[in-house]
Amino acid sequence: MLATNLMHKTAGAIEDAVAVPFLHIADAVAQEATGLGAQHIGLLGTRPVLEDDFYAERLARHGIDVVVPDAPTRARLDEIIFGELTVGEVRPDSQAALHAAVTRLTTDGAQAVALACTELELPITAAEVPLIATARTHALAAADRALAT
Protein backbone atom coordinates (compact mmCIF):
# COMPACT_ATOMS: atom_id res chain seq x y z
CA MET A 1 0.00 0.00 0.00
CA LEU A 2 0.97 3.61 -0.49
CA ALA A 3 -0.22 5.89 2.30
CA THR A 4 -1.05 9.00 0.27
CA ASN A 5 -3.74 10.00 -2.19
CA LEU A 6 -1.66 12.11 -4.57
CA MET A 7 1.20 9.65 -5.05
CA HIS A 8 -1.25 7.02 -6.24
CA LYS A 9 -0.65 8.58 -9.62
CA THR A 10 2.40 6.24 -9.58
CA ALA A 11 0.36 3.19 -8.56
CA GLY A 12 0.52 1.57 -12.00
CA ALA A 13 4.31 1.56 -11.94
CA ILE A 14 4.31 0.17 -8.40
CA GLU A 15 1.85 -2.58 -9.31
CA ASP A 16 4.03 -3.50 -12.28
CA ALA A 17 7.19 -3.57 -10.15
CA VAL A 18 6.07 -5.68 -7.18
CA ALA A 19 5.00 -9.30 -6.96
CA VAL A 20 2.76 -8.82 -3.93
CA PRO A 21 -0.81 -7.48 -4.14
CA PHE A 22 -1.07 -3.69 -4.01
CA LEU A 23 -4.01 -2.11 -2.19
CA HIS A 24 -4.93 1.04 -4.11
CA ILE A 25 -6.50 3.79 -2.03
CA ALA A 26 -9.25 4.38 -4.60
CA ASP A 27 -10.21 0.69 -4.43
CA ALA A 28 -10.74 1.07 -0.67
CA VAL A 29 -12.70 4.30 -1.24
CA ALA A 30 -14.87 2.57 -3.85
CA GLN A 31 -15.60 -0.26 -1.43
CA GLU A 32 -16.61 2.25 1.24
CA ALA A 33 -18.77 4.22 -1.21
CA THR A 34 -20.48 1.02 -2.34
CA GLY A 35 -21.15 0.10 1.28
CA LEU A 36 -22.80 3.50 1.72
CA GLY A 37 -24.92 2.92 -1.38
CA ALA A 38 -23.19 5.84 -3.11
CA GLN A 39 -22.52 5.43 -6.83
CA HIS A 40 -21.89 9.15 -7.42
CA ILE A 41 -19.31 10.70 -5.10
CA GLY A 42 -17.76 14.10 -4.75
CA LEU A 43 -14.00 14.28 -4.62
CA LEU A 44 -12.01 16.88 -2.69
CA GLY A 45 -8.22 16.99 -2.69
CA THR A 46 -5.24 18.60 -4.30
CA ARG A 47 -5.47 19.77 -7.88
CA PRO A 48 -3.64 16.73 -9.38
CA VAL A 49 -5.97 14.32 -7.57
CA LEU A 50 -8.94 16.18 -8.98
CA GLU A 51 -7.63 17.01 -12.45
CA ASP A 52 -5.53 13.99 -13.42
CA ASP A 53 -7.44 10.84 -14.34
CA PHE A 54 -5.70 8.30 -12.09
CA TYR A 55 -8.13 8.54 -9.16
CA ALA A 56 -11.44 8.94 -11.00
CA GLU A 57 -10.55 6.18 -13.47
CA ARG A 58 -9.79 3.76 -10.65
CA LEU A 59 -13.11 4.58 -8.99
CA ALA A 60 -14.88 4.12 -12.33
CA ARG A 61 -13.60 0.52 -12.46
CA HIS A 62 -15.93 -0.07 -9.51
CA GLY A 63 -18.89 1.71 -11.07
CA ILE A 64 -18.35 4.89 -9.05
CA ASP A 65 -18.88 8.20 -10.84
CA VAL A 66 -16.98 11.25 -9.61
CA VAL A 67 -17.91 14.91 -9.47
CA VAL A 68 -15.17 17.45 -8.76
CA PRO A 69 -15.32 21.15 -7.90
CA ASP A 70 -14.99 23.82 -10.58
CA ALA A 71 -11.58 25.27 -11.49
CA PRO A 72 -11.66 28.26 -9.09
CA THR A 73 -12.62 25.97 -6.21
CA ARG A 74 -9.85 23.51 -7.13
CA ALA A 75 -7.34 26.36 -7.03
CA ARG A 76 -8.69 27.50 -3.65
CA LEU A 77 -8.42 23.94 -2.33
CA ASP A 78 -4.73 23.90 -3.22
CA GLU A 79 -4.21 27.23 -1.43
CA ILE A 80 -5.97 25.96 1.69
CA ILE A 81 -4.28 22.55 1.71
CA PHE A 82 -0.72 23.69 1.02
CA GLY A 83 -0.84 27.13 2.62
CA GLU A 84 -2.74 26.29 5.78
CA LEU A 85 -3.66 22.70 6.52
CA THR A 86 -0.21 21.18 5.95
CA VAL A 87 1.11 23.50 8.67
CA GLY A 88 -1.78 22.76 11.03
CA GLU A 89 -3.71 25.97 10.44
CA VAL A 90 -7.45 26.10 9.85
CA ARG A 91 -8.75 29.61 9.13
CA PRO A 92 -12.49 30.22 9.61
CA ASP A 93 -12.91 31.61 6.08
CA SER A 94 -11.15 28.58 4.63
CA GLN A 95 -13.28 26.23 6.68
CA ALA A 96 -16.37 28.00 5.33
CA ALA A 97 -15.03 27.67 1.77
CA LEU A 98 -14.47 23.94 2.27
CA HIS A 99 -17.97 23.42 3.60
CA ALA A 100 -19.34 25.39 0.64
CA ALA A 101 -17.38 23.09 -1.70
CA VAL A 102 -18.96 20.04 -0.06
CA THR A 103 -22.40 21.60 -0.40
CA ARG A 104 -21.82 22.34 -4.09
CA LEU A 105 -20.73 18.74 -4.71
CA THR A 106 -23.90 17.57 -2.98
CA THR A 107 -25.98 19.93 -5.10
CA ASP A 108 -24.24 18.46 -8.15
CA GLY A 109 -25.45 14.98 -7.16
CA ALA A 110 -22.77 13.60 -4.88
CA GLN A 111 -24.20 10.98 -2.52
CA ALA A 112 -21.00 11.02 -0.44
CA VAL A 113 -17.80 13.07 -0.48
CA ALA A 114 -14.32 11.54 -0.41
CA LEU A 115 -11.78 13.66 1.46
CA ALA A 116 -8.89 12.66 -0.81
CA CYS A 117 -6.32 14.59 1.21
CA THR A 118 -5.59 13.60 4.78
CA GLU A 119 -5.49 17.21 5.97
CA LEU A 120 -9.09 17.80 4.89
CA GLU A 121 -10.26 15.77 7.87
CA LEU A 122 -9.17 18.64 10.14
CA PRO A 123 -11.66 21.29 8.96
CA ILE A 124 -14.39 19.07 7.49
CA THR A 125 -15.95 16.95 10.19
CA ALA A 126 -19.62 16.86 9.18
CA ALA A 127 -21.67 17.34 6.04
CA GLU A 128 -25.13 16.75 4.62
CA VAL A 129 -23.84 13.54 3.00
CA PRO A 130 -21.47 10.86 4.33
CA LEU A 131 -17.79 11.79 4.30
CA ILE A 132 -15.20 9.21 3.30
CA ALA A 133 -11.91 9.80 5.11
CA THR A 134 -9.71 8.20 2.47
CA ALA A 135 -6.56 7.65 4.53
CA ARG A 136 -8.53 6.06 7.36
CA THR A 137 -10.56 3.98 4.90
CA HIS A 138 -7.35 2.81 3.21
CA ALA A 139 -5.70 1.90 6.52
CA LEU A 140 -8.74 -0.06 7.69
CA ALA A 141 -8.87 -1.94 4.37
CA ALA A 142 -5.19 -2.79 4.76
CA ALA A 143 -5.75 -4.04 8.31
CA ASP A 144 -8.69 -6.15 7.13
CA ARG A 145 -6.57 -7.63 4.35
CA ALA A 146 -3.67 -8.35 6.72
CA LEU A 147 -5.92 -10.02 9.27
CA ALA A 148 -7.63 -12.11 6.59
CA THR A 149 -4.37 -13.79 5.55
The verdict on whether 117 is a catalytic residue reads yes
86, 106, 107, 117: the active-site residue: 117
Asked whether 78 and 47 are in contact (CB, 8 A), the reply is: yes
Active site residues: 4, 117
